[in-house]
Chain A
Amino acid sequence: MEFVEQFIVPKFNYWIYVVLMMIGMHAMIAKNNFFKKLIGMAIFQTAIILFYVSIGVKEGANIPILDHHMMPGEVHANDPVIAAKFTNPLPHVLMLTAIVVSVATLGLALAISQKIYREYGTLEEDDILSQIKLEPND
């Protein structure tokens, strides 16, 4: 019980990210169907992105958009901006582009799997391997 209180409860989110990453990685290695492998890859990817965004969280901080009264020329223009009051924007920027790139790469992977289906009539790895072995290698 002490172990749970000391190690799992304060780091619960990180534990879940590692578990999600393990689920995705296991699916990528052990699943037989290519489509399932791709879902595993996407879960792996989102686990990494979740981890990245969560390290930028600050307790009690606001969203990283400044109040328009604090902009130059407005009423509170001379109020200091305290960095601890706003969430760290840097992980958001890096992961925002990663999400859009991930859908483009997912589309590419799906295109390859469609091409494989057209060639072999199946998306199961073992069926495709047995078909490749049956073909005479020249």
Chain B
Amino acid sequence: MIPIFDIILLVFLVVTALIALRVRDLLAASMVFGIYSFLICLLWAQMTAVDVAFTEAAVGAGVSTVIMVATVYQTARRSKD
């Protein structure tokens, strides 16, 4: 049986993925993608994959959000879709 905490996280995961792809402001999209990475990190900690969760917290929610924001600042902020 899948734990109820997992099911809540999985639903939120789909919601954040859709928001990250729907918003037209790319800075907001990269921040929402940071939230998505953090939810995945929680999901892995729940699946007892602590090493993977640690890596995702440092890499996905940390460094990759920062380099995405850096790219948004160096290119365009608005998106047409």
Structural contact, A123 and B75, CB atoms closer than 8 A: yes
Structural contact, B71 and A114, CB atoms closer than 8 A: yes
Structural contact, A110 and B81, CB atoms closer than 8 A: no
**Tally of A-B Cβ pairs under 8 angstroms:** 127
Chain A hits for B60, CB < 8 A: 46, 99, 103
Q: Which of A20, A39, A63, A102 has the most CB of B within 10 A?
A: A39
Structural contact, A117 and B49, CB atoms closer than 8 A: no
Residues from 69 to 122 in A contacting B, C-beta threshold 8 Å = 87, 91-92, 95-96, 99-100, 102-103, 106-107, 110, 113-114, 117, 122
Q: A36-B26, A50-B43, A102-B59 known; 19 other A-B pairs, CB under 8 Å?
A: A13-B6, A19-B14, A20-B13, A23-B17, A32-B79, A35-B68, A35-B71, A35-B72, A36-B29, A39-B20, A43-B36, A50-B40, A54-B47, A65-B50, A99-B52, A100-B59, A103-B60, A114-B71, A117-B76
Structural contact, B76 and A16, CB atoms closer than 8 A: no
Partner of A39, one of B11, B33, B51, B67: B33
Q: Give per-residue flags for B43-81: 1 if the beta carbon is below 8 A from chain A beta carbons, else 0.
A: 110011111100110011001100110111011100111
Binding site for A on B (CB under 8 A): 1-2, 6-7, 10-11, 13-14, 17-18, 20-21, 26, 29-30, 33, 36-37, 40, 43-44, 47-52, 55-56, 59-60, 63-64, 67-68, 70-72, 74-76, 79-81
Which 5 A-B pairs give the minimum distances between C-beta atoms? A117-B75, A33-B79, A16-B10, A110-B71, A87-B48
Partner of B56, one of A20, A32, A99: A99
Given A16-B13, A117-B74, A106 contacting B64 (CB threshold 8 A): yes
Least Cβ–Cβ distance between A49 and chain B, in angstroms: 8
Binding site for B on A (CB under 8 A): 10, 12-13, 16, 19-20, 23-24, 27, 31-33, 35-36, 39-40, 42-43, 46, 49-50, 53-54, 56-57, 61-65, 87, 91-92, 95-96, 99-100, 102-103, 106-107, 110, 113-114, 117, 122-124
Q: In the complex, what distance in Å separates the CA atom of A32 from the CA atom of B24? A: 11
